[in-house]
Amino acid sequence: MNAITMTTNTATGTRGWRASIADVPVLALGALLAVAIATGNASVTAAGAALSALSLLVTIVVLAFSRRQLRADPRSASFARLATGLAIATVLMGLAADALLLAAAWIVSGRLMAGLIGHVGEWSEARDAARRANIAFTVGDIALVVAVGSLASIAGSTDIAAIKAALPAMPALETTVAAFLLVIAALARCAIPPFSNWLMRSLAAPTPVSALMHAGFVNAGGFLLIQFAPVLEASLNARYALFATGIVAALVGSAIMLVRADIKGSLAASTVGQMGFMLLTVALGAYPAALWHMIAHGLFKAWLFLGSAGTISSAPTRAKGLSQPWPALIALATIIGGIALIQTEQAHALLPVCLALTALLSALAVALRALPRGPLGAAVALAPIVLIAINAAALAFMTAVQPGAAQPLISPYGQIAILSLFLAGWVWQQRIVSGQQALPPALFARMIHAGNALTSSTNANAKD
Amino acid sequence: MNIATAVRAAETGVPASLQEERQELQALVDIAGQTVAPLWPLDSAIAVNPLSGFEDLPFEDAVPQAAELFGARASLSLVQWRSLKAEGRIEDVAFRRAVVNALGGIDSAFESLGPDLNAYNLLVARLVELPTEDTPASRNELDAPHAVLARYLAAFFDRNAALRLPGRELGLYHSVSAALRHDPALVRAGDTTAAAWLANAPAEPLEMLLFAARRDGVSRDRRLPWLRSLVASLPGWAAHLRWRAEHGGPSASAGAPATMIELMALIALVQGSVRSGPQALAGAADAIGQVEQALLSYFGLPATAPSAWSDQARDALRRVASMSLAELGLVFQEAAEASFLGQFAPQLEGASARLTAPARAPAAEAQAVFCIDVRSEPMRRALEAQGRYETLGYAGFFGLPIAINPACEAPTRNQLPVLLSPAHVVAERAAQGREAEADALLDRHAALADARAILDTTKSGATGFATAEAAGPLAAVALLARTLAPRLTDALRKRLVGERGHVLTPSACNDHGHGAGAIPLEQRVAYAKGMFALTGLSHETARLVALVGHGGCTTNNAFAASLDCGACGGHPGGPNARLMAAILNDSEVRAGLAEQGIAIPDDSWFIAAQHDTTRDEIEIFDRQLVPASHTDDLAKFTLALQRAGAQCREERAMRLGRTPEDLLTGAAHWGEVRPEWGLSGNAAFIVGPRALTADIDLGGSAFLHSYDWKKDEDGSALTGIMTAPMIVAQWINCQYLFSTIDNEVFGAGDKTTQNVIGGFGVVQGSGGDLCVGLPRQSLFRDDGTPYHTPRRLAVIIEAPLQRVQDIVLAHDVVGRLVENGWINLVVIDPWKHKAHHWVRGEWAARPC
C-alpha cells in the first residue's frame, strides 16, 4: 500500500502498520528463535526443515492474501500478529534440538491457533470452536509434556539427540508409555477421531485461518512422530495403535467428505482423512513418504481453502465416479502391481506407492476421453504421468535425506491386505457416487453430523 | 389425533369439515410461501427485494413487521444514522422537515409543552442527542433442531453432491423426514417426547402440518401467521426453494422434487421435537418510562415535571418516548431521501427549462447506448467530456428476450431480465472471420474441462491421497503466482486459455438456412425499433453507434455475478450488445425499419462493446467487421473510450479510498473482498433525455433511462419503462437498502467466514441458513461505516403528469409501489418545469 492510499483511507488508525504493545510477544518469540539458533539449540533435520519451509511458504502467502481479504476486519492486525507468531513457533518447533524447547513451541503454537480459530469473538460458533480446539490441544499438550518429561528425566538430558541415544537402555514400560503419549499428542494435533471436532468446527474462522492450519499446524503430528521416531519404533503396540487409528481416520474422513454439501466442510473432512493417511504411513515406517505427504498436501489444501470462494458453478457437475468396469479393473491392476513391487524387494512404502498407481490409472481412464482431441488431449493425458513422475522424484529425494524405520511394521503381504481394504472401499464409493448403489439413511445421518456435533451452547444461545 | 384417527374420523362421517380444513390449510400454505422473496443462485445472482412479500403494506408498516418476523433490525442503529448525518449525507433542512413530518405537522411539532419545550425538541433530542447504544446486527444463529434440518436441506439441494441424500428422487419431505427419523442429533437436541414425535410423524406434508397445528393448539384463525413463522425460521432455504419452483425451470429440480409445503412440514417436524413453553415478553412499558426520564433530565426537568402538564403534553412526551427504532430510523431515512431530492431536483428543473430552448448541438461524432446501471453514469459523463459524443441509457439486454446456448457443454443461460421469459434460444458460434481461433479456443476449454474431470474423479477416496501429493507442487506455484503476481497471472491465464467472449458470439441468423436458433426478420425489426421507441434515439444516428453492455471482473468471488448485468439475468451484457449490433447492421432489418419510418443513415455502423465495471475498461467486439470507411472513426472513438475509462477509474478509486492502479490489481487478486462498490449508493431512477442530467454529477447514484415524452404519444414506451426497468431498479434498491439495515438477516454477512454450499449459495461458518442479499464488504467501508445510505428509490420522470398518473393507476404492479411508499415518485412537468411528488394518491409540489 502506498502513501496515497493511506491518506485517502478514512479509517482512524486501525489499519496500517503501527507498533503496538501486542507486537512484543511476537518479537520475543522471534528473539527466542534467534537465540536458539545462536546458542546451538537448533539443529536441522529433514523433518524440521520440511516443516519450517512449509510453514514459511504458506504463511507468507496467507499474510499477503489477508491484506486484501481482511481489509474490513477490525481485528486484521491481531490476525497478522497471531499468524506471524504461529510461523515463528512452528519454525522453532521444527528446528529445536532441545525436547523442552520443542514442547514449549508446540504448546505456544496450539494456543495461537486456538486464538485464530476464535477470531470472530462475538460469534458463539467461533467461541465454541475455539473452546473445542483448546480442549483438544490441552490433551495433546499434556501428553507431550509427560512424554518428553519422562524421557528426559530417564535419559538425564533434554537434548533430543541424547534422548535418542539413551533409548536402548531405557526400560520397556517407560518407552512404551512415552510412545503412546506421543501418538496421542499427534492424534490431537492431526484432528484424528476422536479429536476431529476442533477442525470440523473451525470453519467459523475466516478463510485465511483455515489455510494457515495446513502450514505445518494440523500436519505437525507427523513431524513430531518422525522427530521422535526411535521412541515410536521402540513400541510395536504404539505403532499398531497409530496404524489402526490412521486407517479409521483415512476411511472416515474420506466418507464425511462425500456427504458434505459445503466446500469448506468437505475440505476439512478431507484433511482428517489425509492426516489419517499420513499417520498410517508413519506407523508403517515410511517416513520419507509421510514427510512428502505433509508438504504436498499442506500446499494443496491451503490452495484449495484460499480459492474456496470461487467454487460457485453454473451447472450441476456430472457424477464424479468411474463407470463400470473401470474401478474393478484398476483395483485388480493395482494389486498385481503391488505384488510385482514385492518381487523387486522395494516394498517399504508399498501402500502409498500402490495408491498412487490407482490414482494414476483412474486419471488415465478419465483422460482416455480426451485423447481423440489431438495434441491437447494427449497433453491432458500426459499431465498426470508427469505429476506422478515429479512426485516420485520428490519421494526419492526425501528418501535420500530422511531414512525410513529400521523395521517395517507389517510384511509386504500385510500391506497388500490393507491395500485391498482401501481398494474395496474405493470400488464401493465409485458405485455409490455413480448412483449404482444407495446409502442407508441411518449411515447418512451419522456421516452428516460426524465430527460436527451441535453444541449445547448453540442451544442456550438461541434461547436467550 | 394422529393420522390413523384422522382417517377413521373421515370414515365415520365428518369428512366434509376435515376436507375443508385441509383445503383451507393448503390455500394458506400458498399465501405463506410468499413471505420470502425468491433467491437466485449466485451464478446468476439477481437482486430482489427481500421484503417483496410485504409490498402490499405501506413501507412504514411493512419494515417493522418483517423485521419482527425474521428477527432483524428495522433500521440502522441511531449511532450509525448519526454518523451519516455528521458526514453530511443528511441535510439539516431536510432533517428538520422530516422530524416535523414524523410529528404530524408544524402545529403538533411546535406546540409548547412547557417552558422552551415542544415535541420537536424532544424528538430531535431522541434522534441525535440522547446517549444510545450501538446495537450491531447480530449473527443469525440457529437452534439445534433447525441447524440439523439445515444440514439436510443443504444435502438435498446440493447440485454437486458426490453422494446423494438417500431417497432424494422421492421428494424433499419424504427423503428428509426419513433421514430425520434416524437422526441421533435431532433426538438429542429435542426433549423427552422427541423420539415418539419423530416416529409418529405423518407421511404426507399436509397431514404433518395439520398434526403439528393440532398438537400445538394453533387455532384456524392463527394458522397463517403460524405458517409464515415456519417459513421465516429458515428464510434462506425457503427463498432458494421459491426460486427453484418458480424460476428455476425443470432442470433445477430434476431428480429432486420439492415444494414449499414440504419445507414447512419439515420445519414443523423439527420444531415439534422441542415443546416450547410460553415466550416471555420484554417489559416494553418499562423501557418507555426510562426514555421519558432520560428526555426530561436531558432538558433539565425533574422526573415529576409531567404531572403538572396537560394531558396533551404528557401524550406528546409519551409518543416521542415510545417511538421504536423503526420509526426513528425512518425519520433519518426520509431526511436522507429528501436531502438527495433537495440537492438534485432543482438542478433537474433547471435543465428541463433549458431543454425547450432550440439550441441545436452539432451532430455527434459517435453515440453510445449504455445500460441503465448506476455504474454507467460516471462512464457516460467521462465519455461525453472527451468530445462530441452522445450517450443514452437503455436496459442492458437491449430489448432482446434471449437465452444463449453456449458452444460448449454448458446449460443454456438466460440473458434477459427475470420479469420476462426467453422468446428465442440463440446459439453461440464463432464470430465472423475468427472461426479458426474459436475452434482452437474450444479445444483448449475442452482440454481444461478434461483436466478438471481428472481432478474431480481422483480427489476423493483412496486415490485422494496420491492426488493431493501429485497436485502439491502445482499448488505451490499457483499459491505464489496468484498472491504475489496477480495481474501477471491473470494476463497469462487469458493468454493461455483465451477469452471466449472475444471469438464466440450469439448469432441471430442461421447461415445454413433457417434453423431453430434464428430470430425471424420481423421480430428482429421489432426489437430494433423498440430501442428507438423507448430511448427516443433519433433515427439520424451518428456514423458510429456503440451498444455497450457491462460486466464485472473479479476472481475467487462467490458474488461475482452480483457485479454483472442484472438486466441480462446476472451475466455480462456483451453478448446481447453484439447480437443487437448485428441486427442493426443487417441490411434486411434496416429496410424493414425504413418501412416503419426509421431510416438509419447508410453511413451509420453499429458496434458492440462491454464496459468492465471493475476496471473501467471498455472493450470493443468484432472490430474485424467494421468497414474500412469507419476505421478512423473507430480509432478515434477507441482513444476517447480509453481516456474516459481512465477518468472514470480515477473517480471510482477515490470513492473506494484506493489508487486506480490498486483497483486493477484488486480485480485480478484472489484475496480481494471489495473489487468495486457495485451498485452501492444507488438512489434514483431518472427517466428523460440525457440533456436533463448531462450537466449534473450524480456520482454514480442514478439509473438513467433515456426517454423522450414527445416521441411517445400513446405513453406505451413510458408504460414499458415503468413496468419493467423501473421494477428491476426498485428490486436492486431494496436489496441494497435492507442488506445495509441488517446485514446478517437481509444480507449475506462477512465474506471471509462464508462457505460456498451446494455450488450455488453461501452459508456462514459450518452451516445454517442459506445467506440472502449482499455481503458486508459490498456495502460497508473498511472502518465499518455504511457506504450505502439506506434510501428508497427516487423515480424521477420528465413527462406530463397525467400520463404518469394514468400508468400508475392502470398498473397494479406500479401503483402498489407508489401508493405504499416503496418508491418516491417525482414527475417533472415538461411545460412548467416543476417537480411534483406523488404523496399517497395526489400530486404535491416538491417539498423543498
In tens, the pLDDT along A107-124 reads 999 999 999 999 999 999
Q: Does B479 touch chain A (CB under 8 A)?
A: yes
- Residue A99 pLDDT > 80: yes
Q: Count CB atoms within 10 A of the CB of residue A144.
A: 25
**What are the tens digits of pLDDT across the range B770-785?**
999 999 999 999 999 9
Closest by CA position to B508, among listed B493, B494, B523 = B523
Q: Does A335 touch chain B (CB under 8 A)?
A: no
SS3 per-residue string spanning B714-781? CCHHHHHHHHCHHHHHHHHHHHHHHHHHCCCCCCCECHHHEEEECCCEEEECCCCCCCCCCEHHHCEC
**What are the tens digits of pLDDT across the range B8-54?**
444 444 457 888 999 999 999 999 999 999 999 999 999 999 999 99
B267 shares its domain with B375: no
Are B166 and A441 within 8 A, CB to CB? yes
**What are the tens digits of pLDDT across the range B731-777?**
999 999 999 999 999 999 999 999 999 999 999 999 999 999 999 99
Check residue B192 and give its pLDDT. 83
- CA pair distance A61, A301, nearest whole angstrom: 13
Q: Which letter does DSSP use for residue A10 in this model?
A: -
Could you tell me which residues are beta bridge partners of residue A126? Answer: none
Q: Does A162 touch chain B (CB under 8 A)?
A: no
Residue of B nearest to A318 (CA): B160
Q: Domain-by-domain residue ranges, chain A?
A: 22-308, 326-434
Mutation pick from A119, A294, A299 vs chain B, by most beta carbons of B within 10 Å, is A299
Closest by CA position to B607, among listed B587, B639, B637 = B637
Contact by Cβ (8 Å): B213, B202: no
Q: Which letter does DSSP use for residue A316 in this model?
A: P
Are A355 and B462 within 8 A, CB to CB? yes
- How near does any CA of chain B get to the CA of A278, in Å? 9
Check residue A72 and give its pLDDT. 95
Cell of A279: 499417520
- CA pair distance A251, A209, nearest whole angstrom: 25
Closest CB from A5, A208, A265 relative to B658: A5
Residue of A nearest to B468 (CA): A297
Residues 164-183 of B with CB under 8 A from A: 164-167, 178-183
**Residues in chain B closer than 8 A to A56 (CB atoms):** none
B231 shares its domain with B372: no
Closest CB from B162, B183, B468 relative to A320: B162
In which band, very low, low, confident or very high, does the pLDDT at A374 lie, cut at 50, 70 and 90? Answer: confident
In which band, very low, low, confident or very high, does the pLDDT at A455 lie, cut at 50, 70 and 90? Answer: low
- How near does any CA of chain B get to the CA of A173, in Å? 35
**What are the tens digits of pLDDT across the range B419-432?**
899 999 999 988 88
**Residues in chain B closer than 8 A to A435 (CB atoms):** 164
Cell of B637: 472513438
Are B674 and A205 within 8 A, CB to CB? no
Cell of B833: 418545469
B391 shares its domain with B507: yes
Are A438 and B166 within 8 A, CB to CB? yes
**Residues in chain A closer than 8 A to B760 (CB atoms):** 312-313
Which residues of B are documented as binding site for Zn(2+)? Answer: 371, 373, 550, 565
**Residues in chain A closer than 8 A to B403 (CB atoms):** none
Residue B213 within a domain: yes
- Residue A7 pLDDT > 60: no
- How near does any CA of chain B get to the CA of A52, in Å? 15
- How near does any CA of chain B get to the CA of A35, in Å? 30
- Residue B485 pLDDT > 50: yes
**Residues in chain B closer than 8 A to A263 (CB atoms):** 755-757
Q: Which of these three, B222, B249, B271, is where a domain ends? A: B271
In which band, very low, low, confident or very high, does the pLDDT at A461 lie, cut at 50, 70 and 90? Answer: very low
Residue B689 within a domain: no
Q: How far is CA A260 from the centre of its chain?
A: 19
Cell of B617: 475498461
Residue of A nearest to B413 (CA): A314
Per cent of chain B over pLDDT 70 is 95
Residue of A nearest to B767 (CA): A262
Dihedral pair phi/psi, residue B756, rounded to 5°:
-65, 130
Are A459 and B189 within 8 A, CB to CB? yes
- CA pair distance A354, A346, nearest whole angstrom: 12
- CA pair distance B217, B219, nearest whole angstrom: 6
Residues 733-772 of B with CB under 8 A from A: 750-760, 763-767
B580 shares its domain with B434: yes
Q: What is the mean pLDDT of chain B?
A: 91
**Residues in chain A closer than 8 A to B159 (CB atoms):** 313, 315-317
Contact by Cβ (8 Å): A415, A350: yes
Contact by Cβ (8 Å): B660, B766: no
Q: What is the mean pLDDT of residues B225-252?
A: 94
Q: What is the mean pLDDT of chain A?
A: 89
Q: Does A333 touch chain B (CB under 8 A)?
A: no
Cell of B146: 433447525
Are A315 and B178 within 8 A, CB to CB? no
Entry field: residues in chain A = 464
Check residue B843 and give its pLDDT. 84
Closest CB from B143, B182, B467 relative to A359: B467
Q: Does B93 touch chain A (CB under 8 A)?
A: no
- Residue B198 pLDDT > 50: yes
Closest CB from A314, A367, A452 relative to B454: A367
- Residue B120 pLDDT > 50: yes
**Residues in chain A closer than 8 A to B671 (CB atoms):** 64-69, 306
**Residues in chain B closer than 8 A to A123 (CB atoms):** 139, 141, 753, 765
- How near does any CA of chain A get to the CA of B271, in Å? 13
Contact pairs from chain A to chain B, CB under 8 Å: 378
Closest CB from B141, B155, B465 relative to A274: B465
**Residues in chain A closer than 8 A to B474 (CB atoms):** 387
The Cα-based distances of A4 to A14, B419, B436, B657, B662 in angstroms read 17, 44, 46, 9, 11
Q: Tell me, what amino acid is at B411?
A: P
Residues 28-57 of A with CB under 8 A from B: 57
Give residue B668's domain range. Answer: 366-678
**What are the tens digits of pLDDT across the range A122-167?**
999 999 999 999 999 999 999 999 999 999 999 999 999 999 999 9
**Residues in chain A closer than 8 A to B757 (CB atoms):** 261-263
B404 shares its domain with B507: yes
Q: Which of these three, B661, B678, B695, is where a domain ends? A: B678
Closest CB from B159, B183, B759 relative to A445: B183
Q: What is the mean pLDDT of residues A258-273?
A: 94
**What are the tens digits of pLDDT across the range B331-389?**
999 999 999 999 999 999 999 999 876 656 678 999 999 999 999 999 999 999 999 99
Q: Does A362 touch chain B (CB under 8 A)?
A: yes
Are B464 and A273 within 8 A, CB to CB? yes
CA atoms within 13 A on the CB side of B787: 26
Residue of A nearest to B459 (CA): A359
Least confident interval from A232-236, B21-25, B90-94, B458-462: B458-462
The Cα-based distances of A145 to A133, A140, A178 in angstroms read 18, 9, 10
Q: What is the mean pLDDT of residues B229-235?
A: 96
Q: Which residues contact B65 (CB under 8 A, 6 or more apart)?
A: B54, B57
In which band, very low, low, confident or very high, does the pLDDT at B116 lie, cut at 50, 70 and 90? Answer: confident
Least confident interval from A436-450, B306-320, B829-843: A436-450
Q: Which of these three, B678, B696, B723, is where a domain ends? A: B678
**Residues in chain A closer than 8 A to B755 (CB atoms):** 203, 262-265, 308
Closest CB from A204, A306, A317 relative to B753: A204
- CA pair distance A407, B243, nearest whole angstrom: 61
Which helix (DSSP H) or strand (DSSP E) does residue B549 occupy? strand B544-551
**Structural domains of chain B, count:** 2
B648 shares its domain with B523: yes
**Residues in chain B closer than 8 A to A295 (CB atoms):** 472
